Structure 1
């Protein structure tokens, strides 16, 4: 039984919004919008967010608050013998965190570079060992925040970071509105092309982005729900988090796309924008250094808050199932993430660590980053809605219950099938133009890798004394 609690509802909302607002909103959202036709993408994205992601968010919060326990113990509560499914979810989150911290390290490196005026670009940056060093720094920093606890670490960080993120976003958006490409950017972002809605790949990408951005299906909100007081209205909280999450994503688009169109950049370049083309624009625009520092500072704070939430899932599970204290569990998980993320960090370094001709980080992203979330979400719905119907959880869902029981599994199965069949286009491509593996093979390899990680974590646990 978990005894820690948020100090207030505002503290919870800030922490949960911090978990949701990360690289997925600011970097990935604009990349996906650019690659999928601008306004054509917003319609399925908003439908996915409010019709599917919000019900799953309420479900996770309700499970956590009702059971007052971690992901693994919650699965065991649903049905005896289901703990391995919980380990599978935690293992997926662990692997996602291992390469997410590498990306966060890159952001920190670019932030420091622009602060000191060196204005580094991606190729020279990854030719040295700095990316590996920044990965270590961000990992240790994330572990340090989590080790301080729910109120002293996670909530305190959120109270500082989230207001800062939104203030900086608003300031950058006001600056972007003065650029000559703002009108074109607004038209690109908000003009829907309804004929594109017949594209199954567009819907698959939109649903994947909605789940990824809101941090649902990963056990994060289940864990955060276990620290929640009984008086909090879950649906209202879920809507506040969702609106804040979407607002951050759209505002980021209104920052990035005016720069793109003002300086003749290509909006379909995807994630290459953040580390290659936008820095080139910053170097030539008025107040470019100030804008660059604000942009990469914003990215880093958002990435850190999300990384903390990902690590907390594993720490809560490890502490609760082994009897370790928070500090010991955090140290163990932080060390594990360092080891697991090192191959991804080395893949963009002088070592150029690769497998089958592709950087390890790209392979982990193509596999775990693409398939772990829908698999985890399906497991949560299966265990807590189909296998065991907790009456209090069902009451918290209210009218959302039919959506969670029937619509969500269908949507998740179709989206996962589309990805496995190669119908869905890649959403977070790190190397533009690089050949990708067979989607079905990657999907099966992902499931095998998650199972292996879950098995290792389960075998290494220490029973309570």
Structure 2
């Protein structure tokens, strides 16, 4: 065993069981990607047509890649960079690209996690405000800094801290969301919300941009191409059935995303708000809901407290990806790597935080956070996920991946390698055809 491999083995700890692994993975996948991002992306992209495209993307493409990434992490038992180094020098470069993507996403993710902390604090004080009032000062910046430091303190301990938080998080959060969906079903906007979900404009499915948003959201919420799955897979217990664990996470993730839509949109329509208003959708809607609801003060405390817990768990997952890569590649102590990564996050995330303060930092008239989310959380992670799957499937023999799936069935092996090897070709063909059609129309 090489010195570096021995260092990696000694520095890693496994989840205590498959259910613990699933709970932690679910908490990392659910988080803000479902409760915050899914409703606003759906609101901006036509409702029902987006849901159809999202579910197709999830089942046909994203699930096989998810299982592949977890299996690859289990095979290598290393960081993102170490895992992709198995495929050669270019693989290591790609691994660092994934880490950089995760740095970009986590930097603004911490900002939004700060919003959830701010709303949790305000709900305890009995002063929950709509987002425009909340962001009138520098709350976005201060809470971002607090959350980043808090994340550093948690990760300076070990993986068990995330596991314990995850076990407590999911049941309580799901119960609150279900209750809010029930209350939403009693509003006058429920019928309009049903139409928004179930009336599908099938012609929209011919729109390539809709599929881009659908795939981007599916890749985003299941953490494809971001190093989360590879890193978490490297901690997986030996007897874990990888496809079963991943399917469980995907089902819970999709259910929570759809429930978040049913929780938000009836109130959006009841209050006459615009479903396509963007990233502040949930933070503009929910304060109004709790203000008008009997016992809303207590419910606000419970919801925003759990909302923060979900967001914080996802932020920890992103930080863990970066910390694991930095610690193992540069042979740093965990605490040193945590401090270094936290400082980088504080520097990069400040631009996103300041975009929702009186300074209103913008890029081409759009908040910095929204621009980073659209770019890093859309086309970039689609490219990253497809590239990573191709590298794993073309350079790692199927029989090696088969040994760590935890199942004798070859069904998922066949699905993974079919998608991983040939999806890049299909995407390239689609780009060429789309470009050609646009040129003909333009001419």
Q: Please indicate the TM-score interval, normalised by the length of the shorter structure.
A: 0.7 to 0.9
Give the equivalent residue in structure 2 for 1:189: 197
2:184 and 2:267 in contact (8 A); partners too: yes
Give the equivalent residue in structure 2 for 1:445: none
Aligned to 2:385, the other structure's residue is in SS state: helix
Residue 87 (structure 1) aligned to one of 89, 93, 96: 96
- 299-308 vs 406-415, which moves further: 406-415
Deviation at 1:284, TM superposition (A): 3.3
Could you give the per-residue CA deviations for residues 259-287 of structure 1, whole angstroms, max 9, x where no partner exists? 12333333333433223344334433444
Gap regions ≥5 residues in structure 2: 1-7, 406-411, 439-443
Distance, in Å, in 1 between the alignment partners of 2:375 and 2:229 is 23
2:70 and 2:234 in contact (8 A); partners too: yes
Could you give the per-residue CA deviations for residues 234-255 of structure 1, whole angstroms, max 9, x where no partner exists? 1111111110001101111121
- After superposition, the Cα gap between the structure-2 partners of 1:184 and 1:346, relative to the gap in structure 1 and judged at 3 Å, is closer
Residue 60 (structure 2) aligned to one of 51, 58, 81: 51
Give the equivalent residue in structure 1 for 2:70: 61
Deviation at 1:416, TM superposition (A): 8.3
Distance, in Å, in 2 between the alignment partners of 1:420 and 1:339 is 38
Give the equivalent residue in structure 2 for 1:283: 291
Give the equivalent residue in structure 1 for 2:312: 304
Residue 389 (structure 1) aligned to one of 384, 394, 397: 397
Could you give the per-residue CA deviations for residues 204-262 of structure 1, whole angstroms, max 9, x where no partner exists? 21111111111111111011111112321111111111100011011111211221233
Aligned to 1:120, the other structure's residue is in SS state: coil
Give the equivalent residue in structure 2 for 1:272: 280
Q: What's the TM-score, normalizing by structure 2?
A: 0.87
Q: What's the TM-score, normalizing by structure 1?
A: 0.83
2:173 and 2:303 in contact (8 A); partners too: no
Distance, in Å, in 1 between the alignment partners of 2:150 and 2:433 is 37
Aligned to 1:236, the other structure's residue is in SS state: helix
Gap regions ≥5 residues in structure 1: 424-465
Residue 150 (structure 1) aligned to one of 145, 151, 159: 159
Could you give the per-residue CA deviations for residues 397-434 of structure 1, whole angstroms, max 9, x where no partner exists? 4221343234432466578899999x9xxxxxxxxxxx
Give the equivalent residue in structure 2 for 1:450: none
Q: CA RMSD in A?
A: 2.6
Give the equivalent residue in structure 1 for 2:245: 237
Give the equivalent residue in structure 2 for 1:400: 415
Give the equivalent residue in structure 1 for 2:20: 11
Deviation at 1:393, TM superposition (A): 1.2
- After superposition, the Cα gap between the structure-2 partners of 1:267 and 1:348, relative to the gap in structure 1 and judged at 3 Å, is closer
Deviation at 1:357, TM superposition (A): 4.3
Give the equivalent residue in structure 2 for 1:26: 35
Could you give the per-residue CA deviations for residues 359-407 of structure 1, whole angstroms, max 9, x where no partner exists? 3323323332333312321331232112343532156442213432344
1:204 and 1:415 in contact (8 A); partners too: no
Aligned to 1:82, the other structure's residue is in SS state: helix
- After superposition, the Cα gap between the structure-2 partners of 1:361 and 1:284, relative to the gap in structure 1 and judged at 3 Å, is same
Give the equivalent residue in structure 2 for 1:205: 213
- After superposition, the Cα gap between the structure-2 partners of 1:32 and 1:418, relative to the gap in structure 1 and judged at 3 Å, is farther
- After superposition, the Cα gap between the structure-2 partners of 1:55 and 1:168, relative to the gap in structure 1 and judged at 3 Å, is same
Distance, in Å, in 2 between the alignment partners of 1:215 and 1:117 is 35
Distance, in Å, in 2 between the alignment partners of 1:358 and 1:34 is 18
